[in-house]
Structure 1
Amino acid sequence: MPEEVIERLREKEWHSRRTLKARLKGERPFPVSVSLRPPRGQEAVSDLERFHRFISAWKAFPDQGCVQWESRSFRQLSLQEVPVRFLVRNVGVLAELLGDEERTALAAWERRISFILAEPFAQGEDVQRELFSALVDNLDVLRKFSEDDFKLLVRLIPQLCPGLGGGHYLRALPVVHVDTKFMEQNFQLLERLIDVLYVGDVTASGGLLEWLNCRKSPKGWSFVRPLCSCSQSALGGLPILQMDTETLLGFELPASNVLVVENAQTGLALPSLDNTIAVFGGGKNVSWLSAPWLYSRNVGYWGDIDSEGFSILSDARRRCPGIESVMMDESTVEAFSLRMVDEPSSVDFVPGFLEEHEAELFHRLREGAFGKPRLEQERLPADYVLQCLTNWAS
């Protein structure tokens, strides 16, 4: 029936964005063809009311240019004109068939794409073709733009050029009239469009940030806390500060001992230790432990005694092979087993960079040898922590 065909087109051709974009770009050519599967022979004769309803519905369909009819002969019915196929010639017809919402969306896409392709920066046959493809791939982004934001996009594109960032962060980009938060919010679209305009130079540079010569925004923040007066003095007298991953990779912390602690609150409660700096609160973020300057340091890791803690320890040792686990052993578990709790989630595989005694403890925790599988850092008493850390640091 007509309404069934329309809903099928809506689902398969419009709501499927991959299909719609392929149609617009010519990768899947029109017309769209839908078989109407008309009744045959005895099927038509056995239910004449349904057969006539089928014929009448298609005769009443307003766009007869989409309906393909054939003459077919039926016993007891003689020769009949039967609708056999529904053809959609182009995307404009598709939108008209589907309704006002789709017609409005298509008109908005066409208007905005045409506007961009008419700009001076978009001239040239190859550029037009590639820009059209890139814009079609971002149909939903284009439609969500307000009129003001769309104008910002058009004004921003010709301002971007290689090296514009001058080694600063993206938010410091020297562009006129356009705020850099807009650029940040629409980064992927801009990266694709600029790559087209500069014939792949953005991709060859490693991405838009590199092409613009902008620094990446800091990420992977951890607390850094000197645990002795000498280390604090070497850090400008600051009792605590934060560093991102990139800074930790390149900045040599001024202490012989570097203690990595999983949780922030535990790091804040650490006792004083000679020649020691603690880095804590990063959780799973241990990528900075691949820093070459750590090879000359005594590096320790203290995390929760559970599957997640051992997983982080394994990742840390993969990056820093000399790292030593602290208070993540069976003697600690046995001493405080009454303080153990359930673990909300667990790692299903045995981490690959555990030492033998750590892997054995991991297995025993999983097997329920201690009743419950998790001993949190915060449950260890201060005197025990001080004793263990003093032994490690010395």
Structure 2
Amino acid sequence: MKLPMELRSKLRRQWQQADLRESRLLNDTCWPLLLPIGKPKASQIKQTSANLRAHLQHWRNEKIGQVEWQSIKYQSASTIVDMPLVWCIQNNKEWVAACQDKTVSSEFEFLSNVLMRVEAMFHVLLVRQRSVWRNASPQQVVQCCELAMQLQEGCAQGRPLRALSINNIDSKFIENNRTLLIKLLNIRFNQALENISLEVFLNAASENDHWLLVVPLSKGLLPFQQQRVKATELAKTKLPCSHIIIIENERCHYQLPQLKNTIAILGAGLNLNWLSNAHFNTCHIAYWGDIDSWGLRMLSIARNLQPQLTALMMDDETFENNKKSAVKELETAGQKTPEYLNADEENLYQKLLQLEKGRLEQEFIDKLVVEKFVAEWVEGGV
């Protein structure tokens, strides 16, 4: 037999489950909710009559929802007892009331306030992911949803975010609600920002733009030997070459040979959104990074943006040939294998996680080996 307080505890735990919140707040077909109370055995009728009376009184005093009673005859007690068997919760308001929990009530009030004022496409996100609005006011969330409905891809036209003026919403608002806004835009534009930044999607100038080192590998290709270029510039600039090699670390440029019609872009790290540049689709692209979990994660990001790229010197054979230079990777990119690796790269990723020394920095690969691989790639041999 369960007392009201026991079932309240169960209802509170259910509120913490995203699937149940979604179904019960957004789908009327799941109501009513029937919670079995249970009934005593015949032996309990005689042995614990005081406890039974208290149990019955608790359920008689319950004012939320509807308690279904049934008259049950117990032969051993020679009596008929009206027993509460089911607690019936009719709707989500009764569910929240039955929880008798301040946090649950506050969150329900927040969602009730917001959901009636925003587009239905955003409801599931707001119900399931409370963390995106937990530190915001209802009005902030509503404004953020309104902003997501008004923004369009490329609408910044190269201006910084602070130059946008939509419903008196400034860049500070976007900064404070950036995570929520990106999630909302991903819903509206079918995950368009999954692998690019908000600034790239809106074509907005970044206030803290990443600078990359651009090095032409043949004379006369560019009017400089090397130059730093903003990532946002690379995201829209057509480079005068047929081959582009992306290199994780800047300090590796000295390992590169002179190569016709080839440009190296170094120091990108995880900042690879600029690879979505449509002009790059006509170029041969290679990626070379450290052989460790982070290097392979960056390779996965790059391949998602440029599926035809070639990975250079990021295989098990290269690692084994240079493992004397391997060191411990102090912080890995996680146990989950990145999505866009091929089968051999997936196996290498998991192997590196198991090794005591699972990190080979690219600058420890012999310069002659690097020159050979890069030259063969440009010539079509890789």
Please confirm whether the aligned pair reaches a TM-score higher than 0.5, indicating the same fold: yes
TM-score, length-scaled by structure 1: 0.61
Structure 1 pair 88–313 and aligned structure 2 pair: CA distance change class (3 A)? closer
User: Contact 2:234–2:277 at 8 Å: present in 1 too?
Assistant: no
Cα deviation, residue 301, structure 1: 6.2
- By relative contact order (CA 8 Å, sep 6+), the higher-ranking structure is 2
Instruction: Give the match for residue 251 of structure 2.
Output: 265
**Where do residues 99-138 of structure 1 align in structure 2 (5 Å cutoff)?**
99-101=100-102, 102-114=104-116, 116=117, 131=119, 134-135=122-123, 138=126
Cα deviation, residue 37, structure 1: 0.8
Cα deviation, residue 230, structure 1: 3.2
Cα deviation, residue 36, structure 1: 0.7
TM-score, length-scaled by structure 2: 0.62
Instruction: Give the match for residue 379 of structure 1.
Output: 364
| Separation in 1, partners of 2:370, 2:153 | 52
Name which of 144, 149, 155 aligns with 2:140: 149
Cα deviation, residue 178, structure 1: 1.0
Q: Gaps spanning 5+ residues in structure 2: where? A: none
Cα deviation, residue 279, structure 1: 1.9
- State the SS of the aligned residue for 2:220: helix
Instruction: Give the match for residue 240 of structure 1.
Output: 227
User: Contact 1:301–1:313 at 8 Å: present in 2 too?
Assistant: yes
- State the SS of the aligned residue for 1:252: coil
User: Contact 1:222–1:280 at 8 Å: present in 2 too?
Assistant: yes
Structure 1 pair 180–324 and aligned structure 2 pair: CA distance change class (3 A)? closer
Instruction: Give the match for residue 187 of structure 1.
Output: 181
User: Contact 1:73–1:80 at 8 Å: present in 2 too?
Assistant: yes
Residue identity (%): 18
AA partner of residue 88 (structure 2)? L
**Where do residues 196-275 of structure 1 align in structure 2 (5 Å cutoff)?**
214-215=202-203, 222-226=212-216, 230-233=220-223, 237=224, 239-242=226-229, 244=231, 247=234, 251-253=238-240, 258-267=244-253, 269-270=254-255, 273=258
**Where do residues 1-394 of structure 1 align in structure 2 (5 Å cutoff)?**
1-12=3-14, 14-59=15-60, 61-63=61-63, 66-75=66-75, 76-101=77-102, 102-114=104-116, 116=117, 131=119, 134-135=122-123, 138-139=126-127, 140=130, 144-146=135-137, 149=140, 152-153=143-144, 156=147, 160=150, 165=155, 167-168=157-158, 171=161, 172-180=163-171, 182-183=173-174, 185=178, 186-187=180-181, 191=185, 214-215=202-203, 222-226=212-216, 230-233=220-223, 237=224, 239-242=226-229, 244=231, 247=234, 251-253=238-240, 258-267=244-253, 269-270=254-255, 273=258, 277-282=263-268, 291-295=280-284, 303-304=289-290, 319-320=308-309, 339-341=325-327, 376-379=361-364
| Separation in 2, partners of 1:132, 1:390 | 51
Q: Gaps spanning 5+ residues in structure 1: where? A: 118-130, 196-201, 367-371
Cα deviation, residue 34, structure 1: 0.7
The structure in which a higher percent of residues are helix is 1
Cα deviation, residue 81, structure 1: 1.7
Cα deviation, residue 143, structure 1: 5.9
Structure 1 pair 97–373 and aligned structure 2 pair: CA distance change class (3 A)? closer
Q: Which one has a bigger Cα radius of gyration?
A: 1
CA RMSD, 1 decimal: 5.5
